[in-house]
Amino acid sequence: MDRSETNELLDTPVLLLAFNRYEPARRVFEAVRNARPRRFYFACDGPRNPAEEEACARVRSLVELVDWPCEVRTRFQPANVGLKHGVSSAITWFFEQEPEGIVLEDDTVPVPSFFRYCRELLERYRHDDRVWWVLGNNLMASTRPVARHSYYCSQHGYGAPWGWASWRRSWMKYDVDMKEWPKVRGTPDWDAFFLTPAERYEANQLFEGTWNGHFRTWDFQMDFARILHRGITIIPEHNLIRNIGFGGDGTNTLKDDDPRNVDNVSEMPFPLVHPPELVVDVARDKAYFNRFIRTPLRSRLKGWLKGLLSTR
């Protein structure tokens, strides 16, 4: 039985981030509508040009479909801010008003149990500063997990927060401009964090590119802040989020053959089975890195050769 059938309202506030894609945004909105949060936040970036005004307006019209008793707050940008500042400033707006909550983007469709999973873990780890955020997606999940516990702990994932929950206490440590990066890169304490030289290399490439503006995104900054504070990420044994942004007009998920384009969602069974202590699963962090983060050898050799030829 879903929440809409019981008329029960979700006490955890939800933020939906959208732009100009109506159908994907509608699918995520319908999932939120079924969860019936008491407080619903809707943030939309503005059009980049006059041709996008109609599409953006149509996405914003989704707020008119709110038909459950809730407090609605909107943040509609008059002009385009861009992914980096549009998303980060909207999340800041959300956590300025809420001490904790759930964040969804317009191409991340959660299964119904995602909302209860987030609510229970937000409450359980509310005062545990080690826990940085609670992710809803697990790209390596089996559709029929047999793990002893409902979730595990990670510290070495990068990007791809497809549906998540967190607290104001964590977001306050976030800096979209990564001002601390030049101070820590290459220091012994920083380098000691990584599990392998390959991880250190790839992470430094991601952070350097984000800091210097090559990557115009918001999420690698969250990973950077988490590492600075040695935070822990909670990963569900079941993948609770279906990303519908591949192969279309998504900003960061354009290719159908992206290794992250997996369809392995399943519902989280309850009651949750909590691990007796929070211990980072190093083996799975290494496996995730090698599968989804590490640059393939062919690409690294191609980049090396390109650099070699450019010096001649």
The whole-number mean pLDDT for each consecutive block of 10 residues of the chain, a chain of 312 residues, reads: 66 98 98 98 98 98 98 98 97 98 97 98 98 96 84 94 97 98 98 96 95 96 97 97 74 51 86 97 95 65 46 40
The pLDDT, as a whole number, for residue 292 is 87
Cis amide linkage into residue 271, ω under 30° from 0: yes
The reported pLDDT for the residue numbered 248 is 53
Looking at residue 293, its pLDDT comes to: 87
Name, in order, each residue with C-beta under 8 angstroms of 55's C-beta and a sequence gap of 6 or more.
20, 21, 22, 47
- 197-211 vs 219-228: helix axis angle to the nearest 10? 120
Rg (the chain; Cα; Å): 20
* pLDDT score at 301: 42
Structure tokens, 239: 């993948």
Domains, the chain, ordered by start: 1-106 (3.40.50), 111-242+252-312 (no CATH)
Measured at the CA of 231, the angle between CA 204 and CA 135, to 5 degrees, comes to 95
pLDDT for 182: 98
At 143 the pLDDT is 74
Please give the pLDDT value at position 300.
Answer: 44
| DSSP code, position 145 | -
Q: Closest Cα partner for 174 from 103, 117, 269?
A: 103
Residue 308 burial class via C-beta count within 10 angstroms: exposed 0-12, middle 13-18, buried 19 and up = exposed
pTM: 0.89
Question: Of 142, 111, 153, nearest to 262 (Cα)?
Answer: 142
Contact present, 41 and 16 (Cβ < 8 Å) = yes
Contact 285, 195 (CB under 8 A): yes
Question: Identity (one letter) of the amino acid at 45?
Answer: D
